[in-house]
Each structure stands twice: as structure tokens, then as C-alpha cells.
Amino acid sequence: MVKHLEAIDILKQYYGYNKFRPGQKEIITSIMNQKDTLAIMPTGSGKSLCFQIPALMFEGKSIVISPLISLMKDQVDSLKAMDIKASFINSSLPYEEIYERTVDFINDRYKILYLAPERLSTFGFSEEIYSTNISQIAVDEAHCVSEWGHDFRPSYKNIGEFVKQFRKRPVVSAFTATATKNVRKDIQFLLELDHPDIFNLGLKRENIYIEVLKEINKRKFIVDLIEKRRDDAGIIYCATRKSVEEYYVYLSKRGYNIGKYHGGMDALDRKEMQDAFIHEDINLMIATNAFGMGIDKPNIRYIVHLNMPKTIEAYYQEIGRAGRDGEPSQAYMLYSEADRNIQRFLIEKSELTEDRAIVANRKLQDMTNFCHTHDCLWQYISEYFNEDSEKKCNNCFNCLNKNIRQYDITIEAQKILSCVYRMKQSYGASTVAKVLKGSHSTRLKQKGFEHLSTFGIMNNLKEKEIRDLINFLAAENLLNISHGMYPMLGLNDNSWKVLRGQQKVIRKTSEIFIADKEPNEDLFMLLRKLRKKISETENVPPYVVFPDYTLKEMSLIKPVKAEDMLKIKGVGEKKLEKYGTRFIEEIKIYEGIND
């Protein structure tokens, strides 16, 4: 226990912040009052601090259950940098090391232990833990307990039973960034939370700009973006390992210093690439969604999805890896119709039960609708997670773009809806588009579709353009798409309003733009070099020394005294003692100050 210190004192002394972020103080207070607590917090809102500070204040020790091996190490490194006794146990360690760390934890040599959920079923480990003084069990990524979430982990179902074995039940705190109402119910029930306090801090990340770009030259976009952001860290996500390899070769040949990461690589190669990215030896990572879980790197400035993810949950979680330091960041999705077909193929080839496959296809359709909506993108995400939201976020392309043009496509919409009706609402978008185009395929002739009044009435458009219009109508809830493996189009109440001329259909088109980054100042770059040197000496990621926003504030304020350095966000007494003198000397040299 950190004796005689209140939460705000710990925040200042150890973490270097003068005030809590929204919601943090209330969550910490709930946990300290011995109340089970469920917190839904957007990525980057400081959830780890909400269970770490109580861990330091409680008399007993705390266990943090996390499925993310890389996050464990990063957070333990950060705690050690603040002289907090912490460790982790997961599958990356040999048995002897696991045993030694377990004994050390039981003997109070660690205040905080990060633990992989798979370890809960290890009999010897559990028996020893039950006899020690545990004040808190914090469950990170709590959505993993739900089979209806996007990242179900069977080992999470052991947590409730694990907690019940303690003679004195610890307080349980659970944290997640992504949870629909059903998933939240699962978290409370399966973790057996006892009348928990529930905090929902919302989903919107004020500092992340999001944009969907459809059917563009992806390689040109990537090269243009990298040229604009050479000094910034970024992640480019691909749907397949093959795409990762292709883009890695393409960009490497153009001279960019990049890394790659996917499940087909050797484990050691993946670790080397990840470490190089974390330690800022490379700025750009090309990866499948296997990369990023638990990467606690705060200064990722942009995320690009070369292909559409399969769920809103995955998309939200992945873009949330940008801007964890609160600085302006961007997320771009480069959508093409083939992306959806790839994801549907992957679902079809998976070993999901029929019910799970239906859920997966429904989530895929929600993701497709997101790519085609003209409404606020952040609002769409909020409503997906059953959150109230303002109608305009002022931080997505749909809300900010001034080059919007509006077109009345009511007649085109009526043609599509009429065709769906005449095809008895029993076919998918591809077949409907072929009929509207007037395709003379053998299959259509066999079905007799060439005799429909809607056959060929949109032959001035390409089939792909017609399918894009169908997707737009679905995104605007003017057309239904079923959620089976072979989705069929159907009409709803809004469809009939359009067909009867009671509602117009307006579509927007706009020009593409990429937000420019703010220039880095000379002193900021010098401080980054010093941070890099220290991080290499101590074998920790640079942001463990100081995050980017701390260095930016140093370069602005230019503190040359210890008391001034303490005023910088992110500089606490512990880090001032450890690193402060070297950064002050660097600033003095830059300013030409001689003592």
C-alpha cells in the first residue's frame, strides 16, 4: 500500500498528471469502496490507471487478468519505471520462471501481478493464490467472456469460479472498450459481479478523425500518406497474409523502413518486428489483425485498413490503437466491394455453428452499411453499441467535408426496390443487379427474369455501380438484407414510402482529402533522440520513458529547473528523479544556457 496518499496524490507523484480524465476518479472511488465495478471506456481513455491506482492504495495485492501478452510486458515495464513492484505470468515464460514469480507474489515481493486467464485452471497456482491477501481482481478486455462478443476466449469463463475460491472475496473490477447491451449482460452474469457499479464513458474518441474511401487506387493512397507522415508511427491492416507480404515487398522496394506481422510468420520474427515498432526503430507496420492487441504504444498517429474488417467491434478496437496519447490522429478505411466478399468467404470456410455464422454475417452487414452511410460515422458506431450520440461529430469525413454534392436518386432507388419486389424478395444483391443491368446469363433466362418489367431498366450503369446503390439503400435503412450465408434483399416500411413517392432519396458525393500533420519542432526531435538513447540503454519502449505529448510540452515550455519540469504532463516525481536531469540538460544546450 502507498501509505498516506490519496488517489490524486498517486496520480501526481507516480503518473505525473495533475487531474483525472473524465470518469477515472469515479471508477477508482467505486473500487476503493469495495464495490464490484464494470467500466466501458474508449481505448486510450486511461482504463489501466483505474485499476492500478486502487492496487497501490489497497492493503493487499492485486491480480490483473489479461489475454494480451504484449500488453502485460508493456504495462509492467511502465510500472517498474515508476518504481512500482509488478510482474506478469503467461505462456511466454518457462515453468521455472512461473514458479519463481508465483512464490515472489505470494511473499509480497510484487504489489501487482498480471496473469493470463489460462493460468486460472492450473491447480497448483490457484491453491497457492487462495491463501494470500488479494484485495482486487481486475479483468481487462472483459468482453472476451461473452460468446456473442467479437473476441470470445473460453478461458475467461473460469474467472467467476476462480474468484469464489477466496476465503475473503476480493473486489472485482471489469474493463472493456467494446460491449453491446447483450455483451454487458454476459460480463455481469459470467464474471458473477455482485451488484456492480456500472460506468459507461461512451465510445467517441475526440482526437481520432475517421474516413471511408471507396474504390480508390490503394497503393497510390498509401504512398501519398506515408510521404506526408514519414516521421509518424502508423499501422496498415490487411485482410490476408498474402496482402501483407505483397505490400511489404512493394513498400520495401520503394525504400520505406517498415515491418510486417501475420500469423504465418515465425514467432521470433513476429516478436522482433513488434519490438522494432514499439522501440521506434521502424515507424510503419503492415499487418493482419493479429497485430496490435495489447500494444500500448501511445503515439501511433494513423491507422489504415486496406480492407474492410469483418465487424464494427474489430474496426473500433483497431482504430483505437491510434492517438492513445490524446493527440490528433487519423483512421482511413479503403473499401472495395471485394472486401466484403473476402470476409464472407472467410466466414463460410470457418468452423462456426449455424447460429454463430448467422451472427457473423449480421455483423459483416453492419460493417458494410457503415462503409456506405452518408451520416456521421462516429454516430453510426455509437448507435451500433446502443449509445446515445449527437447527430454530428465534427471529426469524421461525412461531417467535415465541405465539398459535398447532393443528388436526388429517388428514381434509381424506386427501380431497385421495384425489382426486389418483382423478384419476390428472394435473391441477393448480385442477382438483382444483373437483372437491372439486363444480363443475358443462362441462369437468369432459366429463372425467366428477362420477362420482368425491371429487366434492363438500369443498363446505363455498370453492375458494380448498381450493387453500390443497393448497399447505400441498405445503409440508409431503405432496404433490408438478411443475415444468412446467402443474404437476400427485402423491403421494409421505408422502402414502401420511397416506392409510393412519399420519401425522396438523396445521395452525397465528395472529393477526397488527407489531413496534413503538424510539423515537429527541432527541440522535440532532439528530445526524441535522447528518449530513444535512454530506452535502448534500459531496454524499454521509448514511451515508457516519456510519451510524445510530454516531449511536445517540454519543447514548448522548455523547463530548465526541476520544479518547472514537474509541471509538465506525464512527469511525476519518480520520473523526474530518474530522467529529469538529462532532459533538462538537453533543453539547456538547445537554449544556449550555461550554468
Give me the pLDDT at residue 201, please: 86
pLDDT tens per residue across span 271-303? 899 889 988 899 999 999 878 765 778 899 999
Same domain, 85 and 161: yes
Q: How far apart are CA 389 and CA 383, in angstroms?
A: 7
Q: Out of 138, 171, 200, pick the residue that ends a domain.
A: 200
> Structure pTM?
0.68
Same domain, 428 and 344: no
> Would you call 134 helix, strand, or coil by DSSP?
strand
**pLDDT of the chain, 595 residues: tens digit per residue:** 555 578 999 999 898 888 898 899 999 999 999 999 999 988 777 889 999 999 999 999 999 999 877 778 888 988 998 999 999 998 888 888 988 998 899 999 999 999 989 888 764 566 777 888 999 999 998 988 887 666 778 888 889 988 988 888 999 999 998 777 888 899 999 999 999 999 988 777 888 999 999 878 899 899 989 988 888 999 999 988 999 999 999 999 988 989 999 989 988 898 899 889 988 899 999 999 878 765 778 899 999 999 999 889 889 989 988 998 888 999 999 998 888 777 887 777 777 777 777 888 888 889 999 998 888 899 899 888 877 666 678 789 888 876 566 788 899 999 999 999 999 999 999 899 999 999 888 888 888 999 999 999 999 888 888 988 998 898 888 999 887 667 889 999 999 999 999 999 988 765 433 333 343 468 888 999 999 999 999 888 898 899 888 888 888 888 888 888 888 888 888 889 899 899 999 998 888 887 6
Is the residue at 515 inside a domain? no
The enclosing domain of 504 has a CATH number of: 1.10.10.10
Give me the pLDDT at residue 3, please: 53
Give me the pLDDT at residue 91, please: 83
Other C-beta atoms closer than 10 Å to the C-beta of 353 total 8
The enclosing domain of 543 has a CATH number of: 1.10.150.80
Judge residue 246's burial from the number of C-beta atoms within 10 Å of its C-beta, 0-12 exposed, 13-18 middle, 19 or more buried: middle
Is the residue at 1 inside a domain? no
Q: Out of 154, 174, 200, pick the residue that ends a domain.
A: 200
Rg (CA), the chain: 26
Same domain, 193 and 45: yes
The enclosing domain of 73 has a CATH number of: 3.40.50.300
Q: Out of 400, 432, 466, pick the residue that ends a domain.
A: 400
End-to-end CA distance of the chain: 40
Is the residue at 480 inside a domain? yes
> Would you call 66 helix, strand, or coil by DSSP?
coil
Same domain, 260 and 345: yes
Is the residue at 219 inside a domain? yes
Same domain, 58 and 147: yes
Is the residue at 2 inside a domain? no
| Structural domain harbouring 235 | 208-400
Is the residue at 503 inside a domain? yes
Same domain, 50 and 75: yes
Residues in a beta bridge with 63: 113, 137
Same domain, 298 and 354: yes
Same domain, 383 and 271: yes
Give me the pLDDT at residue 454, please: 92
Same domain, 229 and 365: yes
Q: Tell me how many domains the chain contains.
A: 4
Same domain, 395 and 410: no
Same domain, 123 and 217: no
Is the residue at 417 inside a domain? yes
Same domain, 79 and 196: yes
Is the residue at 228 inside a domain? yes
For residue 271 the three cell numbers come to 516478436
